[in-house]
Copies of this chain bind each other. A is one copy, B any other.
């Protein structure tokens, strides 16, 4: 399946734009025009610009014929926002979202996760589930997702094909796991078999998107306990050789950490110490292109090591609460260590495919860090900060910080149009017109009219859902529109 990536016309987006400048600051651009060329790249941003000014002044400068331009306007109160980056999501686990009982990580893997993942070697089931995941995450404004697939090559390739077809930017990882932690029915036969299968998915992705312009492969050791040391080392070598990104899990819960220390003693790895991070480092997997999911319980020394190697962290608050893993001190990783962090839904350790829900939970969980042992006021993440993590932070984490996550000339147009509900004088909700997705109302964000822009954005973060995401574009292409 090949994607028709380039739509035929240049585009002008008009109205209000909101995006992150730095961690704790959003920029609000009103009466602004953003010009996106046929390749999906932002070529101009003009403040104080309405449609006539755009047509009369900017189009001639860009050499764009009027007939060749599509104009997309945000209505009063609506705004364009960068698409969300989900830095950690397991596509095959989606049918289990919300189903985890009272389990914790290792038990949850065996009870719920491995059986579901293994069952997706059946092509029809994989197509059904992956179609649903992509459509669902797009509807929540996820323009880029770092996916874990399964160990199965053909269904992993199918996930890549489907992302290409639906137009979602994605990192696609075939899951590598050859240790006896995994059941017999769901495990790579050997390190060599694991490497060969990984190379097969890399080759497939290269065949459908040679420049990796939308889809790129990501080397994906599941997590240390699921891999033998030879496999970890060979994956480290493969990452070095291919310059591809790497994703894995680290320090999610305490029994897992104890297991790593048991399985990978210093005497085996030759690592500087017996820590979890040192195992990855010794295998050549701790690099600037590495995304480490969770990082809930990093020691001070591990945080130093992760920072020194320039590896990135995917914070997954929904999952960490649901599986009783812990509360990651994200703001300290960000500010004290300078570690780049993004947000992950971690479906289905996380119960929701929405990055907005992950942002909301990041703010709430950070308050638990603040009133927890050793916590401080400065551990609290604000609305601006969680939105930064959901966009710029995530983009940088997956190695796309120069391409997406904000509105800048030279970046690509990965964006969502956000609309909030308006409350009439009689207390009823303003009707949403059909053109932009009528039914079901505007969701749970109720704007009375006196709220400032930052207050409206706060309402969106705390009460918003996919009903507020009216349209979604990736690389300039419209990939979702609310029904």
A interface with B by C-beta (< 8 Å): 94-95, 97-99, 101-102, 124, 127-132, 135-136, 321-327, 351-354, 361, 364-365, 367-368, 370-373, 377, 380, 382, 423-429, 437-441, 444-446, 448, 450-451, 455, 458-463, 465-467, 482-483
Residues of B within 8 A of A440 (CB): 437, 439-441, 467, 482-483
A-B contact pairs, 22 of them (CB 8 A): A97-B459, A97-B463, A98-B445, A98-B458, A98-B460, A98-B462, A98-B463, A99-B455, A102-B377, A128-B424, A131-B428, A132-B423, A132-B429, A321-B368, A322-B367, A352-B444, A373-B373, A439-B439, A439-B440, A439-B483, A440-B483, A465-B465
CA–CA, A72 and B384, complex, Å:
47
The residue on B at minimum CB distance from A452 is: B99
How far does the Cβ of A119 sit from chain B's closest Cβ, in whole Å?
Answer: 10
The residue on B at minimum CB distance from A378 is: B102
Give 8 nearest A-B pairs by CB, closest first. A439-B439, A440-B440, A131-B427, A98-B462, A351-B462, A98-B459, A321-B364, A128-B427
Residues of B within 8 A of A450 (CB): 95
CA–CA, A463 and B136, complex, Å:
13
Residues of B within 8 A of A135 (CB): 427-428
Task: Kindly name the residue among A354, A427, A437, A482 whose own CB sees the greatest number of chain B CB atoms within 10 A.
Answer: A427
CA–CA, A382 and B100, complex, Å:
10
The residue on B at minimum CB distance from A457 is: B98
How far does the Cβ of A92 sit from chain B's closest Cβ, in whole Å?
Answer: 12
How far does the Cβ of A294 sit from chain B's closest Cβ, in whole Å?
Answer: 14
CA–CA, A467 and B441, complex, Å:
10
Provided the pairs A99-B455, A467-B440 are in contact, do residues A327 and B462 lie with their beta carbons within 8 angstroms? Answer: no
Residues of B within 8 A of A371 (CB): 324-327
The answer to whether A99 and B446 touch across the interface, beta carbons within 8 angstroms, is no
The answer to whether A367 and B425 touch across the interface, beta carbons within 8 angstroms, is no
Task: Kindly name the residue among A98, A324, A445 whose own CB sees the greatest number of chain B CB atoms within 10 A.
Answer: A98
CA–CA, A116 and B462, complex, Å:
19
The answer to whether B463 and A352 touch across the interface, beta carbons within 8 angstroms, is yes
The answer to whether A97 and B438 touch across the interface, beta carbons within 8 angstroms, is no
The answer to whether A446 and B352 touch across the interface, beta carbons within 8 angstroms, is no
Residues of B within 8 A of A354 (CB): 444
CA–CA, A455 and B111, complex, Å:
14
The answer to whether A463 and B130 touch across the interface, beta carbons within 8 angstroms, is no
How far does the Cβ of A319 sit from chain B's closest Cβ, in whole Å?
Answer: 11
The answer to whether A462 and B427 touch across the interface, beta carbons within 8 angstroms, is no
The answer to whether A367 and B324 touch across the interface, beta carbons within 8 angstroms, is yes
Among B99, B427, B444, B466, the residue within 8 A (CB) of A459 is B99
